Amino acid sequence: MNILDIIEKKRDKRELSKDEIQYFIQGYTDGRVMDYQASALIMAIYLNGMTKKETTDLTLSMANSGEILNLDSLNKIIVDKHSTGGVGDKVSLILLPIIASLDIPVAKMSGRGLGFTGGTVDKLQSIPGYRTDINVKEFIENVKNVRISIISQTLNLAPADKKIYALRDSISCVESIPLIASSIMSKKIASGAEKIVLDVTVGSGAFMKNIENATKLAKEMIEIGKLAKKETVCVLTNMDEPLGYAVGNNLEVIEAINFLNKNMPNDLKEVVLELGAYMIKLAGRGKNIQENKEKMIENIENGKAFDKFLELIKNQGGDISYIKNTDKFEKAKYIVPVYSDEDGYISEINAESIGKLACYLGAGRMKKEDKIDYSVGIVLNKKVSEKIEKNDILGYIYANNKQKAENAIKEFKEIVKISKIKTKKIDTIIEIID
Ligand code: URA
């Protein structure tokens, strides 16, 4: 067997065998398959797709490319959560401390930004001192001691995904059902949880642009979950406009902290509560979705969820004075309000365009070695369907470069569409698939 034959086979739209997929995954993980060969194969998969059997074989090979965590010592049902990616998606930062505050353990391996979407790890790293790269022992100890740990993929968990994830990002091969399904499910299998809740985003700011493709992705991940004996529930959520108001790393951390301090934007609240209610259900801690949401709200109201967030950050070396006083976060040099030129109603804020604009300002990576600027991004002031008057503020640009700030203002005004007719508010929760 050799990699050239495997690339040729996929290029010519033929099905790869389990052994061929394993050969590629092992070879790429240990460096025998070169980046340019992996790029060619990934592009062929992107263009020609994979059968369900190929996707399953790819997922299991990736999961087995490193260690599989054993969380049995926690003596509890561990429920994991993952999102297929979005713009302004700070859900994990909010939801996971709420879940841990209900005494349900959270052992979460998160990702970096991918394409125009942000990543939880980049956001957490905007908190001075927070360590995302702890070892397995410390990870499990943290979950035992404070019920929660959120880390990056630095442990030897699904290392093949780590390499392929970064590669896909640098060769424009992100939006693919087999590649997303295998990336997410390999990580979830490797990180040892028994049950999984997936936020499958749909719309302009998601990798799945329509409900049909998102449903297909959800069903493939559920099937892989079944094979791996991991009960999986998918919540399809809307990502046509950014989630919440802030887009950019420390800006989103601040919004998450405000949320845990009871300042909850509606769309963000709906997503957090829906996903959380299913996590609680899968953990065996409540069958009634509405009651589960109420338990979550109670722990926001009584401050337990915020205290758990503080504990998480402190336990992993983060400076909690920033969490207690968000004014301490580094601020962009230019914070510029953008004013509306007309009266009307906001009819569209294309989330993908906002994500790309945030990347242009420095909030994301263009190349895998790029450094992120944690303080830049965009903060919306109005959301779709809201009324706007001439000279009202549409949003704020946070930039560290004057020219970029000026370009971003122009671009932002083009992204935010205004109509004379009131547009319907976007429904946030689309469907539950299990
Ligand atoms: N999140 C992942 O972990 N992988 C993807 O491919 C997309 C979102």
Task: Render pLDDT for 315-356 as a digit per residue (tens, 0 to 9).
Answer: 999 999 999 999 999 999 999 999 999 999 999 999 999 999
So what's the pLDDT on residue 423?
84
Q: What is the pLDDT of residue 207?
A: 94
104 lines ligand 1 (CB under 6 A): no
- Check pocket membership of 107 for ligand 1, CB cut-off 6 A: no
Reported as a single tens digit per residue, the pLDDT across 166-223 is 899 889 999 999 999 999 999 999 988 899 999 999 999 999 999 999 999 999 999 9
Nearest CA to ligand 1 atom 2: 184
Q: Check residue 118 and give its pLDDT.
A: 84
d(CA 416, CA 400): 22
What was the pLDDT predicted at 209?
95
Q: Whole-structure pTM over 0.85, yes or no?
A: yes
Answer whether 184 contacts ligand 1 (Cβ < 6 A): yes
Confidence of residue 398 (pLDDT cuts 50, 70, 90): very high
Q: Whose CA is nearest to atom 8 of ligand 1?
A: 84
Report pLDDT digits (tens) over 107-125: 999 988 888 888 999 999 9
Residue 74's pLDDT is what? 87
Give residue limits of the domains in the chain: 3-49, 72-324, 331-419
pLDDT at 366 exceeding the cut of 80:
no
Query: In the CATH scheme, what is the code of domain 331-419?
Result: 3.90.1170.30
What CATH number does the domain located at 3-49 have? 1.20.970.10
Given CATH 3.40.1030.10, say whether it is the number of domain 72-324.
yes
> What is the Å distance from ligand 1's center to 6 Cα?
24
Q: Per-residue confidence at 377, pLDDT binned at 50, 70, 90?
A: very high
Query: Looking at per-residue confidence, does 369 or 137 come out higher?
Result: 137
**Hey, which residues are catalytic here?**
82, 161, 168, 183, 187
Looking at ligand 1, which residue's alpha carbon is closest to its atom 3?
Answer: 184
Q: What is the pLDDT of residues 68-109, one digit of tens each?
A: 998 988 888 999 999 999 999 999 999 999 999 999 999 999
The predicted-structure confidence for 419-434, as pLDDT tens digits, reads as follows 999 888 778 999 999 9
- Output the pLDDT for position 283: 96
